[in-house]
Chain A
Amino acid sequence: MSTVDAAEHGAADHGHATNLGMSNEKLGMWTFIGSECLFFGAMIATYLLYLNRTNGGLTAFDVFDIPFTSASTFILLMSSLGMVLALDALHKRDMRGFQTWTLATAVMGMVFLAGQKYEFAFFVEEGFKLETSPFSVSFFMLTGFHGIHVTVGVVMLVILWALSLRGGITADKHTETVELVGLYWHFVDIVWIVIFTVIYLIPVG
């Protein structure tokens, strides 16, 4: 079986310039992100509706630890900076820098996830569970689905990192791939800014 070169014939674009001058992949990612806004929007709306329906259980004032979550939020937001630096390193053909920053971004994502896992376990121990109240289940669903999105992002970053170790990522061919992962990653971070504001800051402020 013969070896092949990269099939970089722009197969998805069929070798033609696209109408918008933006690749199909990037336009598709933006379209998908548009859809995600409604996905999180529906959960945020539910959360706001159920904010005060605590069934006599723990309320927002009882459970949330603002300093702890602020710290993990800061780490997640810094991971966006890591993503920018990774892409920048790729633009400069600095593969070492790319590997470093990609891995750093993934690790920051993992730290955030670990913080969320700790927070969830702590809440459950306190008696704040899925079945406690409409408020509790809305909280777990909103932050949990965000956590799943972060997990998917971490997996993509780790794959990028692993591929780049064996030379599978090059500045000539994969800048856009990295850009797409970056788009997704920044979106997940931006959603967290909204969620953090809605969940942790509004009830307290």
Chain B
Amino acid sequence: MPKKKEILLKLFTSTFYLSMFTFGGGYVIVSLMKKKFVDELHWIDEQEMLDMVAIAQSSPGPIAVNGAIVVGYKLCGALGALSAVIGAVLPPFLILSAISGIYTLVKDNQIVSAMLLGMQSGVGAVIASVTYDMAASEMKEKNILSVLIMVGAFLANWVWKVNVVLIILICAGIGVIRTLIGERRERNV
């Protein structure tokens, strides 16, 4: 691991850069962060990344901001969280204050909307690719309950539009029950 100062700087520049490209909602920054911090820098592993997304989901506020805070905190404590969050917030802050006066011009611009439409496909591909990697590493454990949770959470989220926080709470509950049953079994053996 590099020195603390270097991590802080890298955290700031990474979240700034990633946040500049989070078109299409919070999960885009999660996907980009996974590429950057897990695959490229190896600062966190894939399971930790999923844990951090769960934490980001359970906290109020935007997922992109929460994700930056959690990753920053994990890597470098409170200072890390601070530099990551400033990095994540600055791009939208700068862009919005810059176009706040001329927003009607931007809103009706055909080239801008074409750019955005095209990027949607790219964003979808980035998320699809990261989801595939994450799902594959979950499946490797060959745990039936995990697969059931995956399918159940997808249906709850996508088909039945259940609140994300509720899904997290229910899955946490399943986790507690799973642990208790596991321990009882161990004791009986």
Q: Do A and B come from one complex?
A: no
Residues of B within 8 A of A (CB): none
